[in-house]
């Protein structure tokens, strides 16, 4: 059970972790790549909720999703026994470019072929940091993508195909590697409003590839 002292310990913990931390500077972590020991590797996963809309004539696709990123920042690790056995805490975060609204470093990853950047289309959410330095950031919202559709020969009865290209915007892989959590995507089907019953289009298959 949580004790009344949680508030005091959590306040001390956040002050301890944020003291001297510059959110513009990439994290310390243990990386598995030979070309860089600076920065961190970010694991990416997209949870697909529903297709909000497709415009074949305008080359546009809008998806309702959760974008989930996980990384390691040793600056945010702590001895839980020294802070009332607290093993996780949260921080404010908007985007990597919003240093006033963002307390810790967050990934600089965007969809290159988007109509609007994810800073504008994903809702705000607080990253969760764990005592081993793992940070988890899950944001719901919309991916508004420019598509060069294939499969238009028998439209609207054929299957359309649209590619989304994700990558770092201002940080190279020397400071921010990009990997996948499991397959890199998952379909959300447990919610009452998810799935094809509420949409004209549905997602049949997803193909994911990593480019170095």
- Give every CB contact of residue 173 below 8 A, 6+ residues apart in sequence: 33, 35, 36, 212
Distance CA 128, CA 70 (A): 10
User: Is 90 exceeded by the pLDDT of residue 22?
Assistant: yes
Q: Which helix (H) or strand (E) holds 55?
A: strand 40-55
Q: What's the mean pLDDT in 11-21?
A: 96
CA distance to 28, 139, 154, 191, per residue, from 24 (Å): 13, 20, 49, 37
φ, ψ dihedrals at 7, nearest 5°: -60, -45
User: Is 60 exceeded by the pLDDT of residue 194?
Assistant: no
In 3-state terms the chain splits into helix, strand, coil percentages (rounded to 5) of: 15, 35, 55
- What was the pLDDT predicted at 197? 46
Bridge partners of 44, per DSSP, are 69, 180
Q: What's the mean pLDDT in 188-199?
A: 57
Q: What's the mean pLDDT in 133-147?
A: 95
Listed residue (49, 44, 69) closest to 198, CA to CA? 49
Distance CA 67, CA 114 (A): 14
User: Is the CB of residue 112 less than 8 Å from the CB of residue 127?
Assistant: no
Taking the CB of residue 106, how many other CB atoms lie within 10 A of it?
22
Higher local confidence (pLDDT), 191 or 148: 148
Write out pLDDT tens, residues 148-175.
Answer: 877 666 655 667 888 899 998 888 888 8
pTM (global) more than 0.85: yes
In this prediction, residue 59 has a pLDDT band, given cuts at 50, 70 and 90, of confident
- Percentage of the residues of the chain whose pLDDT score is greater than 70: 90
Q: What's the mean pLDDT in 194-209?
A: 72
In this prediction, residue 134 has a pLDDT band, given cuts at 50, 70 and 90, of very high
For the sheet with 176-187, list strands across it: 88-90, 128-130, 134-146, 60-72, 40-55, 176-187
User: Is the CB of residue 73 less than 8 Å from the CB of residue 135?
Assistant: yes
> What does the chain come to in residues?
212
Write out pLDDT tens, residues 80-124.
Answer: 999 999 999 999 998 888 878 899 999 999 999 998 888 889 998
Q: What's the mean pLDDT in 60-70?
A: 93
Write out pLDDT tens, residues 79-89.
Answer: 999 999 999 99
Distance CA 192, CA 71 (A): 31
């Amino acid at each position: 059970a949580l004790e009344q002292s949680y508030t005091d310990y959590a306040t001390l913990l956040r002050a301890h972790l944020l003291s001297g931390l510059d959110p513009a500077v990439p994290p310390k972590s243990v990386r598995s790549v030979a070309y860089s020991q600076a920065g961190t590797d970010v694991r990416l996963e997209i949870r697909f909720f529903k297709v909000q809309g497709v415009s074949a004539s305008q080359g546009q696709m809008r998806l309702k999703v959760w974008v989930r990123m996980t990384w390691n920042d040793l600056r945010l690790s702590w001895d839980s026994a020294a802070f009332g056995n607290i093993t996780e805490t949260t921080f404010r975060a908007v985007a990597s470019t919003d240093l006033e609204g963002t307390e810790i470093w967050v990934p600089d990853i965007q969809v290159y072929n988007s109509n609007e950047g994810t800073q504008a289309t994903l809702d705000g959410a607080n990253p969760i940091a764990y005592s081993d330095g793992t940070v988890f950031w899950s944001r719901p919202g919309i991916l508004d993508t420019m598509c060069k559709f294939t499969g238009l020969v028998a439209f609207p009865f054929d299957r359309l195909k649209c590619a989304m290209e994700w990558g770092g915007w201002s940080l190279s892989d020397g400071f921010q590697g990009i990997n996948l959590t499991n397959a890199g995507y998952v379909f959300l089907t447990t919610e009452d409003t998810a799935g094809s019953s509420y949409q004209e289009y549905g997602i049949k298959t997803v193909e994911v590839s990593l480019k170095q």
